[in-house]
Structure 1
Amino acid sequence: MSERAAVEIVTLVISPVHAYEGRPSEGPRPDPGPVSRERVEVRAGLGLVGDRYFNHRAHRQAAVSVFAAESLDDVERELALASRLDPSFVRRNIVLRGFPVDGLAARRGRRGAVFSLDSGDGPVRFRAHRPANPCAWMDVVLAPGAFRALRGRGGVRCVPLDDGALRRGEATLTLLPEDS
């Protein structure tokens, strides 16, 4: 039996380079081009076309990261921020609103969940593998205290199981049976 949820794909991010490396006090490297996209191409077992982790052997089980926009809402409240945080700054590939994605990751002896996202071009399946832990850069690019506030809710790292496309906007997330 499948569980379905109406979600919104808030942001799609392709990062051609790793902008958050080195010391946070030195600031991020400049991005070579636009980061947020309206549409992304997904390739089974490889990741998102154009992303720095696409077809990298070391990242095959973690090529795509998915994040819940509600986690940023929580950080804004906890840190009493006066302005909204930009979801593209967490550098997760897919930012969703409407589903608790952190629960999809593999936990002690349990495989990660299989789920699909369909934003109108057909469903694309993913297997969640491990949590996408935040880094100290979050204190620099989001707000002081964001690194600690995001612990345990930094999203999940996944492998795509299908080729397809995703678009920003309304979508359906379907939690699939284990054997999918």
Structure 2
Amino acid sequence: MTDIPTVRSLHVAKARRLPTRTVPEVEAEEGRGLVGDRYHGSKHRHVTVQTSAALAAASEVLGLEIDPGLTRRNVTLTHGDLPTKPGSLLWLGDVELQVLRIAAPCRLLDDWIAPGAMRSMHNRGGVVCRLLSSGTIRVGDAARWAPPPQD
């Protein structure tokens, strides 16, 4: 494994209760979200990002492997400790994002994965971000982040 985290998988869902679909790339529009995703056009919640390490930890707690697409997150990174402080910046390829908050696990997880899935994802659900620039995010793109802003 390289030291640089990369985009492992990308997922979008056209509507709130529809399953996500895996895509090799997605267009990100500054201030609008991911084209084809249920949150495209929302004011703030543009992209959700999680890591494979958090998924592995949740899978261990649940006793069942959790598929990244079933978590309802848009982006899964290969590894790394995501910044969680609001205002922190991260980049997926050339696309700049700003962390808004820690993402709460989706209520649908217990129905779509297994009972207890939502609880297993508690504090492992990644972050909700706003898009600060436009571009294409692709599987394999490098991910990087800046140190969190000082208070």
TM-score (norm 1): 0.74
Q: CA deviation at 1:124?
A: 0.9
Equivalent residue number for residue 135 of structure 2: 164
RMSD, matched Cα: 2.1
State the secondary structure of the residue aligned to 2:48: strand
- Residue of structure 1 in register with 2:54 after alignment: 71
1:17 and 2:15 equivalent? yes
CA distance in 1 between partners of 2:76 and 2:45 (Å): 15
Residue 125 of structure 2 corresponds to 154
1:15, 1:130 → 2: CA distance? Answer: 21
Q: CA offsets per residue over residues 122-147 of structure 1, 9 Å max, x none? A: x1110000111013321222222111
Measured in 2, the distance between the counterparts of 1:167 and 1:11 equals 8
Q: CA deviation at 1:52?
A: 1.3
**Worse-matched range after superposition: 166-175 or 130-139:** 166-175
Give every structure 1 segment of 4 or more consecutive aligned residues whose post-TM-superposition deviation is greater than 6 Å.
Answer: none
When residues 144 and 115 of structure 1 are mapped into structure 2, their CA distance, relative to the original with a 3 A threshold, is same
The equivalent residue for 1:96 is 77
| One-letter code aligned to 1:98 | H
Name the CA distance, whole Å, in 1 between partners of 2:25 and 2:120.
29
Q: Are 1:85 and 2:66 counterparts?
A: yes
User: Does the CA contact (< 8 Å) of 1:6 and 1:170 recur in 2?
Assistant: no
TM-score (norm. length: structure 2): 0.87
Structure 2: which 5+ runs fail to align? none
Q: Secondary structure at the match of 1:73?
A: helix
Structure having the higher Rg: 1
More helix per residue: 1 or 2? 1
Q: Structure 2: how far apart are the matches of 1:53 and 1:11?
A: 18
The 1-side partners of 2:149 and 2:102 are apart by 18
Cα displacement (A) at 1:177:
6.9
Does residue 139 (structure 1) correspond to residue 120 (structure 2)? The answer is no
In the alignment, structure 1 segments of 5+ residues that lack a partner are 20-28, 107-111
Q: CA deviation at 1:93?
A: 0.8
Q: Contact 1:62–1:157 at 8 Å: present in 2 too?
A: yes
